[in-house]
Amino acid sequence: MNAGDFLDRIDLAALPGAVSRRARAAARFRATGWPTRADEAWHYTDLNARLKSFDLALPAEAGSVAGLIPETDLPRIVFVNGRFAEDLSTKMPGLGCYASDAALTEGRDQPMVALNAALAQDGAVLDIAESVDAGTVLLVSIAHAAHQAAIAPRHRIRLGAGAALTLIEIARGEGEYLHNPVVEIALGEGAVLRHYRLQDEAMAAVHVATIFADLASGARYDSFTLNCGARLSRNETHATLAGAKADVHLNAAQLLTGSQHGDITTIVAHDAPNCASRQTVKSVLSGAARGVFQGRIEVARIAQKTDGYQMNQALLLSPDAEIDSKPELEIFADDVKCSHGATIGALDPEQVFYLRSRGIPEAEARAMLIRAFLDEALEPVTDATAHRLFEDAIDAWWRKGVL
């Protein structure tokens, strides 16, 4: 369905919060419509083609979703169909409040962010005070759609100076839907956020997540995203290093099969001197899956002594798989060290042969090599729960018989 028709069917005034703000966002989204391939930022992902067959509407009440929430001991915040599910969440006094208005920031102009602003009903607001280590929190967003629903939570995470948080974000669902979360992150001086994200949506779903992370000086944003669900997914991360000596790690892996399309897009803006950014992105593609990686490192004139590095590797496991990669450097400062690398290929037959000659069966040998390939991106994930969740998701992918 086209963008205008979809918005026409929604009574924005019936949604909570200020109508004028929603209306402005809706107007911005109407002006652009669904992103198409003519839009350079969406060169390899045709969202329009996928969504025009969707008969989108706002989500109705969900059924039971308990089975979709992973078992952990961690405090958790659960959203179902874009609304806060109090009964499923842990009581965390002082840690968060939920309000639609508070989570809406204007001025981000990407079409899917504007759509989120027009539709968002709820979001987690995590405000961690100065110097507090808030431990690990699970943020689960569940889509349970009987019809083709558009679900758009908008979260905001703020860490005061010296604060620390580990956030494990999980997107899951059942049915056919568009899940369009936006996460806005602001890190104070010296704050550390570890952000581990698992995109494990239903196989018919469309998932478009946009993350904005703004770092003050000395702050650190460590993120790892595992993309394995959804028919079409896109994870777009904008990291802005606004203070000196900030540090960002944007690692990601995608495991795709069948006719899945996965897009990992990163924009790292070095706006201050002496910052470092590291990215390791791995794609494992089987069936007729198509992987996309677009990563841009922007170094502003002021950002001297920048150290930027980006590695993007893809393994093609089948004749019909495809990878499109666009690692970009945009550099305006001279005293910098920036590099990127990209490699694309199949599993090395010699390595498979080596393992087989040691008595390891073919499938196991291939699995072993793929795990080793993924490890480089997964390695910095130090949180045990997150690590286990990712391992489980990878194992589940295996069981689909992709090898």
Partner 1 sequence: MPAVTETIETIDRLAGGGYKFGFETNIEMEFAPKGLNEDIVRLISAKKGEPEWLLEWRLKAYRAWLTMEDPHWARIHHPKIDYQDLHYYAAPKRPAPKSLDDVDPELISMYDKLGIPLNERAALAGVAVDAVFDSVSVATTFRESLAKVGVIFCSISEAVREHPDLVRKYLGSVVPAGDNYFAALNSAVFSDGSFVFIPRGVRCPMELSTYFRINARNTGQFERTLIIAEEGASVSYLEGCTAPMRDENQLHAAVVELVALDEASIKYSTVQNWYPGDAQGRGGIYNFVTKRGACRGRNSKISWTQVETGSAITWKYPSCILQGEGSTGEFYSVALTNNFQQADTGTKMIHLAPNTTSTIISKGISAGHSNNTYRGLVRIMPRAHGARNFTQCDSLLIGDQCGAHTVPYIESRNQSAKVEHEATTSKIAEDQLFYCRSRGLSEEDAVGLIVNGFCRDVLKELPMEFAVEAQKLLAVSLEGSVG
**Site residues (CB under 8 A) for partner 1?**
40, 43, 301, 304, 314, 316-346
Cβ distance to partner 1 smaller for residue 36 or 72: 36
Cβ distance to partner 1 smaller for residue 338 or 360: 338
Cβ distance to partner 1 smaller for residue 101 or 362: 362
Cβ distance to partner 1 smaller for residue 133 or 330: 330
Query: Least Å distance between CB 280 and partner 1?
Result: 14
Distance from C-alpha of 111 to C-alpha of 115, rounded to nearest angstrom:
6
Cβ distance to partner 1 smaller for residue 108 or 278: 278
Distance from C-alpha of 234 to C-alpha of 356, rounded to nearest angstrom:
37
Given a contact cutoff of 8 angstroms between Cβ atoms, the answer to whether 386 and 74 are in contact is: no
Spell out the SS3 assignment of 35-69: CCCCCHHHCCCCHHHHHCCCCCECCCCCCCCHHHC
Query: Least Å distance between CB 338 and partner 1?
Result: 4
Query: Least Å distance between CB 294 and partner 1?
Result: 10
Query: Least Å distance between CB 337 and partner 1?
Result: 6
Chain centroid to Cα 105, Å, comes to 19
- Cα–Cα separations (whole angstroms), residue 345 to 223, 258, 318: 26, 19, 11
Question: Which amino acid would we find at residue 298?
Answer: E
Given a contact cutoff of 8 angstroms between Cβ atoms, the answer to whether 385 and 74 are in contact is: yes
Cβ distance to partner 1 smaller for residue 324 or 391: 324
Exposed / middle / buried, residue 363 (Cβ in 10 Å: 0-12, 13-18, 19+): exposed
- Cα–Cα separations (whole angstroms), residue 132 to 135, 138, 165, 218: 9, 17, 9, 16
Q: Are strands 96-98 and 124-128 parallel, antiparallel or unpaired?
A: antiparallel
Query: Least Å distance between CB 234 and partner 1?
Result: 17
Cβ distance to partner 1 smaller for residue 12 or 331: 331
Query: Least Å distance between CB 315 and partner 1?
Result: 9
Among residues 387, 382, 384, the alpha carbon closest in space to that of 192 is found at 382
Query: Least Å distance between CB 327 and partner 1?
Result: 6
Token pair recorded at residue 396 = 């589940």
